[in-house]
Structure 1
């Protein structure tokens, strides 16, 4: 049974990862480990992956890493550094950008949310978000923002908004399969970025699933990522 370590998107959490990826990974025979976001976010994610990879190496195993949005960025960065012996592949859902953050809409959204939280407070920011969001998104973010508030949600948002992703030239050296789930109707995570990542990687596949479908039915995002995993030639998880 392959251990799969996943990291959430900014403002989301490990609870969402279990619901969105848990069914597909279990059906594929893998074992999901959803990492909880912390105040130090990227550094803590990377340190945790180093620790679990070392333990897996001592048992003669490699891990699969992945995540959603900024979680996908962190997973890909780590796989480029530790791929091969320690990493068996990457599951990347909704990659937000390549290389420097630049004018990414996802990063801008994170900064705007952080500003609102600092200026207005948690509950007024949630109320403003919910007033302009679909019901499923309002419910999901209301829950996760409240759960992350005591773990420096503002700091997490600001860290993510300045975290550089691998460039396409760097992705060309990825030694393991890259499976990508993309949403053609998601303005924060342009489908073009997903296809740029896939075109650059030696072994990769993209499966598109509209936000309008997986948003209300979160497991569809994990289903899409595991379908891309099979297409990319990822090894069996079970």
Structure 2
């Protein structure tokens, strides 16, 4: 691959409402395959973004790192890379959900709605509604992670819903190579957003998969990101 990750610590951040268990399974197989060391910090629901940034800072004290994640995790990791250009080997952005402000983004609207429902109706009711409208694999993953982050889960959802991701102009200044992964049929994390990130960044590539493939194996996210880096 064009980007050498042998011996590099890769810090991967979970998506909204998800957890370190899932993001590890999404990225570790592919990254271990190229010799990277994988770190997946557990989300801190009451300080989601701050906790993620602290985790990357901690890892970067020992040398340059690769950073990335899924959805909000990808956005936070990319923002860190933009502000620490000399400390980043590569960015692995899985399922980016929006560019810039989240105002009309489906993922942000969903996170805000879910936060309100959790506060109003409680965890059991919100899980029941989520399960009724989600594929079985996603419902299973989110049930586990939501229970693990309760009762502070609404705080994390609200933080994600208001997070301003890197803008296209900011992405133009990204010094690190970036591998982006997206599902072609995901309305919450539109492939068009991933394409926008790749178009804006100077050194980026995109690989895709389907939601059925993701449901069968979360490792397709990391594999796609690593393959995209290999395309550079």
Kindly provide the CA deviation profile for residues 159-205 of structure 1, in whole angstroms up to 9, marking residues without a partner as x: 01000011111110111101100111000011111011101111000
C-alpha displacement of 1:47 = 2.1
Name the residue aligned to 2:40.
34
Gaps (5+ residues) in structure 2? 1-6
SS of residue paired to 1:220: helix
| Alignment match of 1:67 (pick from 59, 66, 69) | 69
C-alpha displacement of 1:98 = 0.6
Partners of 2:223 and 2:105 in 1: CA distance: 26
Name the residue aligned to 1:44.
51
In 1, are the aligned partners of 2:79 and 2:165 still within 8 Å (CA)? yes
Partners of 1:89 and 1:187 in 2: CA distance: 27
C-alpha displacement of 1:55 = 2.7
Which has the higher mean CA deviation after the structures are superposed, 111-120 or 41-50? 41-50
In 1, are the aligned partners of 2:91 and 2:179 still within 8 Å (CA)? yes
Name the residue aligned to 1:100.
101
C-alpha displacement of 1:19 = 1.1
Partners of 1:48 and 1:216 in 2: CA distance: 29
After TM superposition, the score normalised by the length of structure 1 is 0.92
Partners of 2:196 and 2:135 in 1: CA distance: 29
SS of residue paired to 2:187: coil
Partners of 2:210 and 2:194 in 1: CA distance: 14
Moved over 6 A (4+): none
Gaps (5+ residues) in structure 1? 57-61, 233-238
Name the residue aligned to 1:21.
27
In 1, are the aligned partners of 2:95 and 2:182 still within 8 Å (CA)? yes
Name the residue aligned to 1:235.
none
Name the residue aligned to 1:114.
115
Counterpart check, 1:131 vs 2:132: yes
C-alpha displacement of 1:124 = 1.4
In 1, are the aligned partners of 2:9 and 2:59 still within 8 Å (CA)? no
